[in-house]
Chains A and B, each alone.
Chain A
Amino acid sequence: MKILIAEDELIMLKTIEYRLKKDGHTIMMTEDGREAIAKIDEFQPDLIITDIMMPFASGLEIIEAVTKRAGKKIPVIVLSAMGQENVVLEAFQLGAADYITKPFSPNELSVRVKRYAPPVVSGQPV
């Protein structure tokens, strides 16, 4: 599965990348929101994992951009330290598929990501 990760903390970014690469996913990383939005069309990810607080464009703007986009619907998992109810609700209202608050377990993230893997038929992804 192709996954786009948008996270401005380098160590978190690399930690998530390391874990998901071990699961065999193809990863594209970016440290700012504007670049993430630009990469959606270029990279055509199957899943996006994004933080909320990022430079230039927030995670909520990324969700909005994905929702308004024509074509394949891309699920977005929000991974953020902001666990306030209003932020979570807004993310879901904009169209987020899942919301994980920090501190989080990378192993738990890996399991959650697997839910969004495209179905496999005869050994090939659909």
Chain B
Amino acid sequence: MAKSTLFISLQFHYFGILGLILTFLVIMAILFTCIGIFVIYYKRAEFHKKNWKLSVSGIISECVFEEWNASSLSGFPAHLRSLFNKKHFRDFLINELVHTKKSLAGSSTDNLKNLYCGLQLQKDSYNKLQSKKWHIKAKGVEELGMMEQKQYCNEIIALANDENELVRNEAQCAVVSLYGFEGLSFFLKDITYPISCLQQIQLLYKLGGLQPSDWHPLQGWLQSANDSVVEFAVKLAALYNNYEVYDEVVTCLKNSSLQVKLTIIEYLKKAPREDAAEEIKQYYHYESKTFRISAIRALQYIGDEKHIPFIQYQLHDVDNDIRLQAAKSLLYLRPAVNSAAGYVQSDDAPQLEEMFPGITKEYAA
């Protein structure tokens, strides 16, 4: 009895392992089949794209210099005309036009835009805005922005405050591309989501070289409840050397955001105002270590002799980083001098050398 039970249990055990192996092999077979189908589909799609690229490249490169009668499609080869009903081909064509437009400048891009509109491709791009998938939405915004489709401005502006960050970024960049500095007014007053540091750099880059005709909105942005908008507004004021809003910017030192305050310090470093250093000093004792270090560093550029006692006092701070920055700023404001007579130390030098050996030579003029 015991032997038969053992035999039966061994058989079950044997068939169990066999079953597991078979199941594993079936799963692997299905997996490899799926991978194989995907690879075949991918290769086929790439093959089509390569052929399409060969076909359309000549048309697009000619179109850059000569206007094409795109609305009738008669200028296109027969094998391409039949493809215009396929969404993949239209998306491919849009990609090529957008990519080409990005690489070209000047009057040659107008013909690309005309080709895009003549083939009604703006409708495809607009339809992407309705997609629930964020990456398709963002793609649609990019296409409409690159192809200067101002008739969809309202839809793009609405996306400047989208919950998805990448959609927001694309929409904001598109609005600035379409309308320049004035485009900022369309969304900065309403956005509730933060503008990331990288996005701020992107927007400033797109604005590069453009001159605003009206600075009035800047004052509103400096009072925004969105700290990143305030930060961006200060950066704008600094970039364009706008010191008419100096008082409004200084008021923003009361803002709770450290990033805003640090940006204001950078603005004040450039400001041609004698009281800029005093404004920073006023807030010094209430602020964090990062602010203090930044403030002491700023004093080396905008401070003068009368700020030296203040900086010297910071040499007694409990924090070593603050003491070090104070030492550097002091040496900057009153450097030890290497002269023909030899190395002439400033009055602070012995004390600083004791605190931070080697620092006086490092910062000698």
Chain B nearest CB: distance from A5 CB in Å? Answer: 12
Knowing A18-B64, A19-B65, say if A12 contacts B100 (CB, 8 Å).
yes
Instruction: Report B86-119 CB contacts with A as 1/0, cut-off 8 Å.
Output: 0000000000100110111111100000000000
Instruction: Report A7-24 CB contacts with B as 1/0, cut-off 8 Å.
Output: 001111011011100100
Residues of A within 8 A of B99 (CB): 9, 11
Interface size on B, residues (CB 8 A): 20
Q: What would 27 A/B residue contacts be, using CB atoms closer than 8 Å?
A: A10-B57, A11-B53, A11-B56, A11-B60, A11-B99, A12-B100, A12-B103, A14-B57, A14-B58, A14-B60, A15-B61, A15-B64, A15-B100, A15-B104, A17-B61, A18-B62, A18-B64, A19-B64, A103-B103, A103-B105, A104-B103, A105-B107, A106-B65, A106-B104, A107-B107, A107-B108, A108-B106
Chain B nearest CB: distance from A16 CB in Å? Answer: 8
Residues of A within 8 A of B78 (CB): none
Given contacts A11-B100, A106-B65, 5 further A-B contacts (CB under 8 A): A14-B58, A102-B103, A104-B105, A106-B64, A106-B108
**Interface members, chain A 85-122 (any B CB < 8 Å):** 102-108
Most B Cβ at <10 Å: residue of A15, A18, A105, A107? A15
- State the CA gap A107–B65 with chains docked (Å): 9
- State the CA gap A22–B65 with chains docked (Å): 10
Instruction: Specify the chain A residue showing the minimal Cβ separation from B50.
Output: A10
**Interface residues on chain A, size class:** 10 to 19
- State the CA gap A46–B88 with chains docked (Å): 42
Residues of A within 8 A of B108 (CB): 105-107
- Flag if B106 contacts A107 (CB, 8 Å): yes
**Interface members, chain B 259-303 (any A CB < 8 Å):** none
